[in-house]
Structure 1
Amino acid sequence: MKRGSKLFLGALAASALMSGAFAQKLPAPEKKPAAKSAEAPKSAPEPIDSQTAIQMANDYFNAAQVMTADFVQVGADGRRSEGKLYVLKPGRLRFEYALPATMEIIADGVSVAIRDRKLQTQQLYFINQTPLKFLLKDELNLKKDVKITGVSSDPKSTTITIEDSATFGGSSTIKLNFDRKAFALQQWEVTDPQGYQTLVTLHNIDLKSVPDRGLFRIPPTSFWPIQN
């Protein structure tokens, strides 16, 4: 598989929505012995059953129709990329990688284009060939749209593992990790058909501003600037 296709699968299928992931941890205030001894132990949160977790995940994805965020992507080779993500449901998405990366990924509602600004190349796929198809739906139902292979929970997070066998190249496995407090998606990791794992982290998430629709137009290849 070409590196552009690997980057494509990683970016599209491993986007990690992580509000607060980059928040700095502050040291706990010093406690006096008396206060500490009187403090009642914190109880662990109640377990979440799998059906409730799946419904909460559906509610999370369906609550917002737009998104703008900064992202950091770490590939299987440890290579780190940064950029901007724009989403406008149904079907529209743009991953805009910052330099020195030269890639951009644009979904216009029907097709997905992987574009390399340096090489001036473009590969086109149908959305239904990619893991994008269920993420960019107006109304997501994980039970019907994907195969759920596992749901697990601990005091800090809940993880839903899904499998998508309809992507080009074979099946992909995606782990959606939600924090327990707000049940917001805090991490999303994909294992692509070749076994490569990719992780993307989002921060500065804006779920209210509507992105410019022009961001989701796939330009003709004839519009590439002439290189000297």
Structure 2
Amino acid sequence: MTHLTYFTRKPLHAAIAGVLAVALPATALLAPAMPAVAADDSTQLDQVVAALRGISTLKADFTQTDRSGRTLRGELTLKNPGKIRFEYAKGTNMLVVSDGSSLTFVDYEVNQVQRYPIKNSPLGALLDPSRDVKKYGKLIPTGNPNVFSVEVKDPKKPEYGIFTAIMIKNAAAPGGLELANWVQIDAQNQRTVVRLTNQKYGVAVPDSAFKFRDPRRSSRRPG
């Protein structure tokens, strides 16, 4: 059982799996260790890591699709280190937000809130500056010299899941690589793809963007 099962409403369960969960078969968790990366791969991996860590702020539209094909849309706001907000489109009464240390999942329909440490989730590869992407990452061949794919997983801590970022060459993006999408798979093999469009880097983002209204407080009746 994981923290996901504490939520009783299935839509929120699926959404959380989407945020926490890279389109890879479950057997990838059992794959043998890869050989040491070649010099060219090491250089490219350095480039990808520099591009990811070079994102100071980012705003983008996102489309989140889980393994069953369920799709949710909204706006993503990111501010490093560690802050992110998934603002879902109207009609989806929930929110996923990180204050830099914990991911918080808020369901406004049933007034539920759950927190989960960033470092223990696949998103830690993107948000946790202490996560050594170079140490635990490897390049996945794409067949396209303009597209880079890097998979990050810690074989000693499978509960952290797998995070795979897809980067596309773009001179206007930090490090010359644009974060186009990522795929995640959690310890329960729940898999989701998050695709980004209309990326805007270096925009002003106040810390207040990562605060939220706690529905548990507003739902309490006076004593």
TM-score normalised by L of structure 2: 0.72
* Residue 40 (structure 2) aligns with: 49
Distance 1:162 1:110, change over 3 A: closer
Conserved in 1, the CA contact under 8 Å of 2:147 and 2:167? yes
Conserved in 2, the CA contact under 8 Å of 1:165 and 1:172? no
Matched, 1:216 2:205: no
> How far apart in 2 are the matches of 1:165 and 1:8?
23
Matched, 1:160 2:150: yes
Query: What count of residue pairs does the alignment treat as equivalent?
Result: 192
SS in 2 for 1:99: coil
What is the deviation of 1:108? Answer: 0.9
> How far apart in 2 are the matches of 1:203 and 1:184?
10
Distance 1:136 1:175, change over 3 A: closer
What is the deviation of 1:94? Answer: 0.7
Conserved in 2, the CA contact under 8 Å of 1:131 and 1:164? no
> How far apart in 1 are the matches of 2:54 and 2:131?
10
| Equivalent AA in structure 2 for residue 176 of structure 1 | A
* Residue 202 (structure 1) aligns with: 196
Q: Within 5 Å, which residues of 2 pair with 1:74-93?
A: 74-93=65-84
Q: Within 5 Å, which residues of 2 pair with 1:35-46?
A: none
| Equivalent AA in structure 2 for residue 157 of structure 1 | V
User: Structure 1 residues 106-115 or 187-196, which shifts more?
Assistant: 187-196
What is the deviation of 1:56? Answer: 0.8
> How far apart in 1 are the matches of 2:185 and 2:209?
28
| Equivalent AA in structure 1 for residue 111 of structure 2 | Q
Larger radius of gyration: 1
- Structure that is richer in helix per residue: 2
TM-score normalised by L of structure 1: 0.71
> How far apart in 2 are the matches of 1:140 and 1:65?
17
> How far apart in 1 are the matches of 2:147 and 2:39?
10
User: Structure 1 residues 71-80 or 123-132, which shifts more?
Assistant: 123-132
* Residue 111 (structure 1) aligns with: 102
What is the CA RMSD across the aligned residues, in angstroms? 3.0
> How far apart in 2 are the matches of 1:72 and 1:57?
22
Point out where structure 2 has 5 or more consecutive residues left out of the alignment. Answer: 23-37, 171-175
Distance 1:171 1:84, change over 3 A: same
Distance 1:149 1:62, change over 3 A: closer
Conserved in 2, the CA contact under 8 Å of 1:58 and 1:140? no
* Residue 174 (structure 1) aligns with: 163
| Equivalent AA in structure 1 for residue 90 of structure 2 | L
